[in-house]
Amino acid sequence: MAEQQVIVPRWEWRTFGTHFPDVEVYLSRLTPTGVQDSDELYLISATGDTVKVRSELMDIKLLREVGYAGLERWEPVLKAPFPLDQEHVRAVFDALREAAPVLERETYTLDAFLAELVAPHPGLREVPVAKRRVRYTIEGCTGEYTELSTGEWRTRTLAIESEDLEAVASAVRTVGMADRVNTSYPRGLGALYDGEPPRYATIDVGTNSVKFHVGQPAGEAAWEALVDRAEVTQLGEGLAESGVIAQAAIDRTTEAIRGMVLEARSHLAREIAAVGTAGLRQARNRDAVLEAIDRETGVRVTVIPGEEESRLAYLAAVAGLGTPTGDVVVFDTGGGSSQFTFGRGREVAERFSVDVGAARYTEAFGLGGVVPQAVLDEALATIAADLGRLDGRPAPDVLVGMGGALTNMTAVQLGLARYDPDAVQGTVLDRAEVDRQIGQYAALDAEGRRAIVGLQPKRAAVILAGACIVRTVMDKLGRSQLTVSDRGLRHGLLVERFGTGEVEALEHR
């Protein structure tokens, strides 16, 4: 390969979207350092690096490293004029991670290269892009705000790059884009050219589990789920006794979130919204936990009040069940707290949160194994006292329950060897089934519970306490049955934060 000018690799961050009002306000205070219009041709494969033709040069950048918050270190390795010799052609296919075809020419003009090598190749696409780039200096980094069109679509990108990873991360925070997911040109352009809808992710960091959701707009006020799962990390393990979150629990939770961020990136999610609930509200070392999560994953978790948690859960529940008529009570019971929202249709009349969670009672009464009746009665009495705010209220027309305890109890009722959110959603759980499961769990140790079909093994220790909370809520609200909602805080957060999603404009030619 011909000797090329040495260019230092740079850390890069980029996001795609139609409108960035906060960024535009910030940039309006800066003086542009340059403006450039260009027509470029990107060559895109499923897993390839950046390969494009600009100004009649073949331009290749290779991804060398992925760092904090998904920032990527890219190294320019080739800027070669056409015609390309065979060595350069093979470098193109290496960068695209595709096998090079048999090369029948010593050199290739651009037309010959595209017609004979790219067009017939099943793993490659040509994506023409028109750009107008405006450059800025942002906190010592190079920034570009670009208007681009490709195919039928028109959108914008914001990019920030520097040799210094920390400088890029700081600049991204400065412009208010820390929650946006870094998306490289090859990945973002491919999705845009195909007309794929924008995708967004939410993370709910709870006391017992971390819930993760990726969705994309699917028509007016509707979302389609691409990923919806939970991982038990027991963040609140030992919290009731010590008042702090243990390092082992921080590590488990951080590792789970790191995996969720990678999954969000693989689905080209544009933004991640993350919230924390009761365990983080209660922990004395909350700030240290949030800092660790940010440092290790790049995700900033916002700890929300219990009342906000209940409001978002209510919106998700009633929307997912077709907006029930009459008086509705939605409760969401988790590892550290339970949220209650009273309303009628979509209108919320009252909401509150109480420190009634499965992890707390499991630790206090030893409910993780075989439990004598006397201990079970004592636990039920304590839960009833702690749910005193429900006393004397009229029975609602509809009682909706959500949270890990209820979805697991429903999966047990249905005998689901593999969890099916669509099967769980809208299932009716009655008092007799709740009592049956309480008796079943109390008679088994954790190992025995893990063998129950439908029960997530990591919930074996806390499921009895969760079932006791469910039964107590049903008793106090005078309902012999409830409707289970698989939708929860993460779904309400998706709608609240992202609305109906960004929509790229159709290019009118």
Task: Give the count of domains, the chain.
Answer: 3
User: Has residue 2 got a pLDDT over 50?
Assistant: no
Residues 101 and 189 in one domain: yes
Residue 500 lies in a domain: no
The verdict on residue 166 lying in a domain is yes
Please say if the pLDDT value at position 505 is more than 80.
Answer: no
The 199-205 sheet, strands edge to edge: 223-232, 209-217, 199-205, 269-276, 301-303
**321 and 295 in a common domain:** no
Does 129 reside within a domain?
yes
Confidence at 503, pLDDT banded by 50, 70, 90: low
Answer yes or no: do 347 and 259 share one domain. no
- Do 43 and 99 lie in one domain? The reply is yes
188, 182 contact by CB (below 8 A)? no
Same domain, residue pair 188 and 206? no
Q: Residue 506 above 70 pLDDT? A: no
> What's the rounded mean pLDDT across residues 291-305?
95
**Residue 1 maps to a domain:** no
d(CA 73, CA 10): 5
Residues 228 and 298 in one domain: yes
| CATH number of the structural domain spanning residue 401 | 3.30.420.150
Please tell me whether residues 188 and 333 are part of one structural domain.
no
Q: Is 326 left (phi over 0), alpha (psi -120 to 50) or beta?
A: left
Torsion of CA 174, 177, 181, 186, to 10 degrees: -90
What pLDDT score does 307 carry?
Answer: 85
Q: Are residues 256 and 339 in the same domain?
A: no
**Which CATH number covers residue 212?**
3.30.420.40
Looking at the fold, whether 296 and 339 belong to one and the same domain comes out as no
Does a structural domain hold residue 439?
yes
Sign (positive/negative) of CA torsion 126, 127, 131, 134? negative
Same-domain status, 228 and 372: no
- Residue 178 contacts residue 163 (beta carbons within 8 Å): no
Q: CA–CA separation, 277 vs 489, rounded Å?
A: 10
Give 226-274 pLDDT, tens digit per residue.
999 999 999 999 998 899 999 999 999 999 999 999 999 999 999 999 9
From 196, 221, 246, give the residue that closes a domain.
196
Average pLDDT, the chain: 93
SS3 letters for 341-405?
EEEECCEEEEEEEECCCHHHHHHHHCCCCCCCHHHHHHHHHHHHHHCHHHCCCCCCCEEEEECHH
For residue 506, being part of any structural domain is answered with: no
- pLDDT at residue 508, as a whole number: 45
Q: How far is CA 84 from each of CA 88, 115, 122, 398, rounded to the nearest angstrom?
A: 6, 14, 21, 70
Where among 151, 171, 196 does a domain terminate?
A: 196
- Domain boundary among the residues 252, 278, 305 is at 305
Cα 403–chain centre separation: 18
For the cut 70, the answer to whether the pLDDT of residue 195 exceeds it is yes
In a domain, 311, yes or no: no
pLDDT at position 192 is 87
Could you read off the pLDDT of 339-397 as tens digits, one per residue? 999 998 778 899 898 999 999 999 999 999 999 999 999 999 999 999 999 999 999 99
The pLDDT of residue 493: 93
Task: State yes or no: pLDDT of 6 exceeds 70.
Answer: no
What's the whole-model pTM score?
0.79
* pLDDT tens digits for range 449-470: 999 999 999 999 999 999 999 9
For residues 78-100, average pLDDT: 97
Same domain, 389 and 244: no
Query: Is 181 in the same domain as 54?
Result: yes
Which DSSP string corresponds to 300-345? -EEE--HHHHHHHHHHHHHHHTT---SEEEEEEE-SS-EEEEEEET
User: Domain residues for 171?
Assistant: 10-196
Q: Flag whether 310 is in a domain.
A: no
**Would you say residue 1 has pLDDT above 50?**
no
Query: Where residue 132 sits, what CATH number does that domain have?
Result: 2.40.320.10
The answer to whether the CB of 465 falls within 8 A of the CB of 379 is yes
